[in-house]
Amino acid sequence: MKNRITKVLVPFILLITLIFFSFSKGLNEEYITTSAIEPIEIPEDVKAVLDNKCTGCHSNDTKGGKSKMKMNFDKFTNGDYSTGKTISKLGKITKQLNKGKMPPKKFLEKYPDKKLTEEESNLLLNWASEESTILKKE
Ligand code: HEC
């Protein structure tokens, strides 16, 4: 009797354990990919425009203010924005640029050379749209 139990029960328990572990491993992997934070890399040409015309108000080095809170380009690359947040911020960049709202008018009155050229604006728009498409596919 005891022998029969061992013969049936032991392999059965082993099988259940095996199934359980492979299942929970699968779940873990799925969890990791969906909640992943993958800092993006900003291409050099885009970064050059941002550094010249945007990060004065939108980076870790900006002193206080609403602008830094609403948009911080450093957080794209240092992992502070989740992937979802990055997608949302990229959408906001597109919105602001299409409306010609950034840099702000008042600032441009003082520093007219900080206005984006059409070429620069298109470069940023293309980047935002392409990066967003890539992130949404991941
Ligand atoms: C002189 C400072 C200044 C500069 C330069 C500037 N911004 Fe802004 N930006 C602001 C301020 C202030 C706000 C907040 C506006 C508000 O919500 O009333 C803002 C808001 C934004 C937002 C909106 C975020 C949201 O949550 O809606 C985006 C996107 C943005 N800026 C992108 C840019 C880009 C791209 C550039 C460069 C082309 C740029 N900004 C240059 C000051 C600046």
Distance 34 CA to ligand 1 centre (A): 29
With the most atoms of ligand 1 within 8 angstroms of its CB, the residue from 96, 118, 123 to mutate is 96
What pLDDT is attached to residue 102? 98
pLDDT for residue 118 is more than 90: yes
What proportion of the chain, given as a percentage, has pLDDT over 90? 68
17: confidence class by pLDDT, cuts 50, 70, 90: low
Quick check: pTM over 0.85? no
**Alpha-carbon distances of 75 from 3, 39, 46, 72, 120, rounded to whole Å:** 63, 8, 15, 6, 21
Give the closest residue (by CA) to ligand 1 atom 28: 93
What pLDDT is attached to residue 32? 46
For 55-76, the pLDDT digits (tens) are 999 999 999 889 999 999 999 9
Residue by residue, DSSP assigns 14-75 as HHHHHHHHHHHHHHHHHHHHHT---PPPPPHHHHHHHHHHTTTTSSTTS-SSHHHHH--THH
What pLDDT is attached to residue 15? 72
CA dist., res. 43 & res. 30, Å (int):
29
